[in-house]
A and B are shown apart, each in its own frame.
Chain A
């Protein structure tokens, strides 16, 4: 099915009480494509991510992955289909080493975790698993603190661990929610480089939510702009940034003039 988009959103809506957090959003992400999802705070970007991952159920519309509806699928099953994610508010496994973070992802990718194997002491780390984990650590540039507990890491490093963990699960699409938040200029550039490498070498599609528009421009092929739950514009990064409606949403009247 070469023409079927990897991820399709069809008129997706989500309300909280009377507030339309996401309203009638439709767009596609093709396999291997990198799409930016931008918009001011409160635009509904993270809510949309939560709907795609199954952490929230959309009220209306449909989300398709490789042409099949995701409706009713719990989060873990969507993850096993190949939807990976990082979080706006860092979500790391406290007390766990960086390597173990990636091992959890490596195993859960294949849906492994049989109790009987643990009880028969057959759950040791295989060479292949170890090699995969090392490769991802290397890719993200965090090999030097692989054995360190995340408790001892700062916010920036935790973000990188989160990104590495998501990549270790070898997702077909990575939903990256503000991956540069809390990082300095150099770290942001490194994250952008990692995302580009992953897209190029592994063919992973990327849906990137980011406030650092320079980074978005550097990473994405196409950009979708949201404001107040609705979709404002879609096109290349330069096209949407030149769009007066988008400028108004970001900068108010001053931006338009």
Chain B
């Protein structure tokens, strides 16, 4: 029995760390209606600044705490409210989720750009009265040191304070009202904007507090630690239906206790220890999503005044003057021809590689256009499905000597199969529920299949050989043939997406996106449509994964971890998720921007800043959920129409013609 407690009790402080974050998620959701994926990133930011100040600048713990937690964290929360979430209509849950994902991706990438590369290995505790090296008590034979005591104490204080705030104060009541409908609460004389802003300030303060308190317990200081921590917290919050603080806390502590207990009993060499144990939070999350009916209706919009929000604008290509549309279409063909000729003649090798990477990535991103833009389903595992395609083709080439292109088709098929399983598992889930399910799947793959050396080749990955592409010299990695391959595959995928959008399935998907209730009421089989679109998007992601692998000459687990799935969503949604051009512009734009940034000083170059640029593009996305490029296209279309196609413009917009006629 003593051995059991020896394994179980150390899990309590870990569980408490999950609980603090879980309660933070519940508070944010309860008070703002946003499921804040960026909570872990906010915690990381506070801990990062705190550690930089204490370790590098030798500040004392208290002033560093004041700056990082009391000042910086609430300011981040205030910025979230004022610059991002306040601009999004209450009913647009997809936009709210995508922006919080953008912040999850953007904030950890922004920190090295602002502070420079840091080597942070030792995080101080903010509680000098809890000495990490002193054992304060022994419970059932288990020593409790200062860090553990600090974490447990902070958890208890936070839980009591937040429960009291939400349940027993007028502010808590106003927060609960504002989350349903800010406008309705305003009609009752409440400053709902201020209430929601305050909720962001409090929840961000909590994120900062969590980050700084938790840093010492995890030793190594990495953004990924905070991301994993958030998964356990999400699982706990899900069991509390994002409402119940006591249930979320109980489940969080239970996850901590079960993890350390299993860790103690399972042989370290077993598959359970290496693969299943780290995935425990994901299983808990998936179980909540599958079992709890409440998780299916999380996104139901209850704002009675939601119809006040203007409808989203139509896509630019669908609303421009016919003559102008014809000219633009011809111009696109001209641009394409010039691009192809340039790639085959004068473009330098470096830039040829950049464009090839962009074309390959565009193929993966097309899968996001299909599943999110056309079907309205937010999948956070398209990168993982691309990885399934990539590793399958690479493994087939390694073991059977199979041509990568043939193996790629098998990989695309396998990615489609995985996507179908996911679709079937998440049949009843929508919006946030589906996003969480697909995120859990992505993290599960990261921890299991992609973490297995026999599948992903370990840290160095699986290298590719030119002969696996073809027997002739034509198919070498660096020649124009790679460009030919990329553009042909992308063209086929674009064709598939356009044909589906134009056809019956596309109309059915659009109907589903508009109203699932009405679509089913007309005789549309929603289950089948979902399976079809998941399979199609999965196979396109798989094909894209193979292309990226061929282009980079290696299949590596680091290329396909869950964070890339999140980045893909941010890229496409920022540029324009409703059109295929959006995916292509995002794919090529990403690598072109990255290449351009290499010309800047080293501190600004590389992957970080390009992710920051796209992530913080969401500042505009909050205002224009159709996508920044889509918005700009519409604006420039209007400008040209009014000046050069005035007749057609006025015929299409009769109301605008009236003042002119009167004048």
A residues less than 8 Å from B507 (CB atoms):
96, 100, 103-104, 107
Interface size class of chain A, counting residues whose CB lies under 8 Å from the partner chain: 35 or more
- Cβ 8 A contact of B517, one of A80, A91, A169: A91
Contact B504 A107 (CB under 8 A): yes
Interface 9-mer from A13-21, A31-39, A112-120:
A112-120
**In the assembly, what is the distance between CA of A118 and CA of B507, in Å?**
11
Interface residue? B514 (CB, 8 A)? yes
* Interface 0/1 of A63-93, CB less than 8 Å to B: 0000000000011110110001101000111
- Cβ 8 A contact of A79, one of B504, B511, B514, B522: B522
A residues less than 8 Å from B500 (CB atoms):
115, 118-119
Interface residue? B417 (CB, 8 A)? no
A residues less than 8 Å from B311 (CB atoms):
94-95, 149, 151-152
Interface residue? B603 (CB, 8 A)? no
Interface residue? A53 (CB, 8 A)? yes
Minimum CB–CB distance for B576 against chain A, Å: 14
Q: A113-B505, A117-B503 are in contact. Are A92 and B522 (CB under 8 A)?
A: no
**In the assembly, what is the distance between CA of A218 and CA of B309, in Å?**
36
A residues less than 8 Å from B519 (CB atoms):
93, 104, 108
Residue of A nearest to B311 (CB): A151
**In the assembly, what is the distance between CA of A74 and CA of B496, in Å?**
30
**In the assembly, what is the distance between CA of A112 and CA of B251, in Å?**
46
Interface residue? A257 (CB, 8 A)? no
Interface residue? A105 (CB, 8 A)? yes
Q: A119-B496, A165-B522 are in contact. Are A149 and B504 (CB under 8 A)?
A: no
A residues less than 8 Å from B508 (CB atoms):
104, 107-108, 113
Contact B515 A91 (CB under 8 A): yes
A residues less than 8 Å from B402 (CB atoms):
none
Residue of B nearest to A122 (CB): B503
- Cβ 8 A contact of B522, one of A95, A108, A114, A123: A108
**In the assembly, what is the distance between CA of A118 and CA of B533, in Å?**
13
Interface residue? A45 (CB, 8 A)? no
Interface 9-mer from B178-186, B276-284, B524-532, B616-624:
B524-532
A residues less than 8 Å from B526 (CB atoms):
76
B residues less than 8 Å from A104 (CB atoms):
507-508, 510-511, 519, 522, 524
Interface residue? A41 (CB, 8 A)? no
Contact A91 B510 (CB under 8 A): no
- Cβ 8 A contact of A95, one of B312, B506, B521, B525: B312
Minimum CB–CB distance for B127 against chain A, Å: 47
B-contacting residues, A106-165, CB 8 Å: 107-109, 111-115, 117-119, 121, 123, 149, 151-152, 162, 165
Q: A94-B312, A151-B312 are in contact. Are A109 and B523 (CB under 8 A)?
A: yes
Residue of B nearest to A82 (CB): B523
**In the assembly, what is the distance between CA of A87 and CA of B517, in Å?**
9
B residues less than 8 Å from A93 (CB atoms):
510-511, 513-515, 518-519
Highest count of chain B CB atoms <10 Å: which of A76, A114, A117, A165: A76
Contact A113 B312 (CB under 8 A): no
Interface residue? A253 (CB, 8 A)? no
Minimum CB–CB distance for B306 against chain A, Å: 11
Q: A118-B500, A151-B312 are in contact. Are A76 and B520 (CB under 8 A)?
A: yes
Residue of B nearest to A101 (CB): B511
- Which A residues lie at the B interface, using CB under 8 A? 53, 55, 74-77, 79-80, 84-85, 87, 91-96, 100, 103-105, 107-109, 111-115, 117-119, 121, 123, 149, 151-152, 162, 165-166, 169
Known: A115-B532, A169-B523. 18 other contacts (CB 8 A): A55-B517, A91-B517, A91-B518, A92-B518, A93-B515, A94-B311, A95-B311, A100-B507, A100-B510, A108-B508, A108-B522, A112-B504, A113-B525, A118-B499, A118-B502, A118-B506, A119-B496, A149-B311
| Pairs A-B, 10 closest by C-beta atoms | A118-B503, A93-B514, A151-B311, A123-B503, A79-B523, A91-B518, A108-B523, A75-B520, A91-B515, A80-B523
